[in-house]
Amino acid sequence: MSVDPRLSINQATIKYADLATALRVTADAGVEAIGLWREPVQEVGLATAATMLADSGLRFTTHCRGGFFTMPEGPARRASIDDNRVAIEETAALAAAGAPGSTAILVLVAGGLVDGSRDIVGARERVRDAIGELAPEAQAAGVTLAIEPLHPMFASDRCVVSTLGQALDIAADFAPEVVGATVDTFHIFWDPDVLSSIERAGRERRIATYQVCDWKTPLPADVLLSRHYPGEGVIDFASLTRAVVETGYDRDIEVELFNADIWATDHAEVVRRTAESFGAAVSPHLAVAGARTA
């Protein structure tokens, strides 16, 4: 099977694989890139993880995840922002260790409402303020902070940023190489403004990473675990992918799957099926005549 050279396996897709296994099954499948999660990296230590990544020959596409800083000022907020500083350092080190073409992108999930709060507008402002604290350090490290809007069903507990437009409004205060956006099909496909928002993101040079997976109902009891292989659900990858490519986006594209059945499947089989589904549902829409370099 031919594997699209722009495919990246986000490590969440094979959640229960340790770092060594994740790197091995990804490379063995002919996939050229991987996005890592902080917990498996921290299990082995950053220096060891960087060496393992370098030895794998894989490109590094994103580090997941930073954020979760919607709480008011106090010890919890200080601890969160300090942890994000560590995540910035990790991202820079891993991008430097990855194969040529690696990108230093830290995905940010904003966080939800604190217990007892109904002030979602204020929570979004605290996201902006936190990014303002972190932006100088990200810029110094050569890291892009990629705000990821999540589907509105996660607004209360995980992410008060629900649309790409909201993410871009927050990012607008900062240089595009420092603060951008994560375009994830699962979270934004429903938005009636999604195509114009993607065009805006491209015009403002804010698309830090493009992530794909599918949406299919009925959703499981734990809606977090409702992501499917591309092509298995209702998302129109043709229009979304073409819109992204037409902005000039020419980087790797991650498949990120949260799904209990997929996680229970052999890791190598998951990577194989991911590559197959990506090739069928996404790859045909990547060649857009006249696409410019981002």
Residue-wise pLDDT for 73-104, tens only, equals 999 999 999 999 999 999 999 999 999 999 99
Question: What CA dihedral angle connects 111, 115, 121 and 122, to 10 degrees?
Answer: -90
pLDDT of amino acid 290: 41
In this predicted model, what pLDDT tens digit does every residue of 185-225 receive, in sequence order? 999 999 999 999 999 999 999 999 999 999 999 999 999 99
Cβ-proximal residues to 289 (8 Å cutoff; 6+ apart), any chain: none
pLDDT of amino acid 287: 84
pLDDT of amino acid 288: 61
Q: For the residues 105-109, what does the mean pLDDT come to?
A: 98
Cβ-proximal residues to 54 (8 Å cutoff; 6+ apart), any chain: 97, 98
* Pairwise CA distance, residues 282 & 203, whole Å: 22
Q: For the residues 268-292, what does the mean pLDDT come to?
A: 87
pLDDT of amino acid 291: 42
Q: What is the mean pLDDT of the chain?
A: 96
Q: Scanning the structure block, which residue is given the tokens 């000022």?
A: 73
Q: What single DSSP character describes residue 111?
A: B
Work out the angle between the directed axes of helices 237-246 and 194-203 (0-180°, nearest 10): 20
* Pairwise CA distance, residues 281 & 107, whole Å: 24
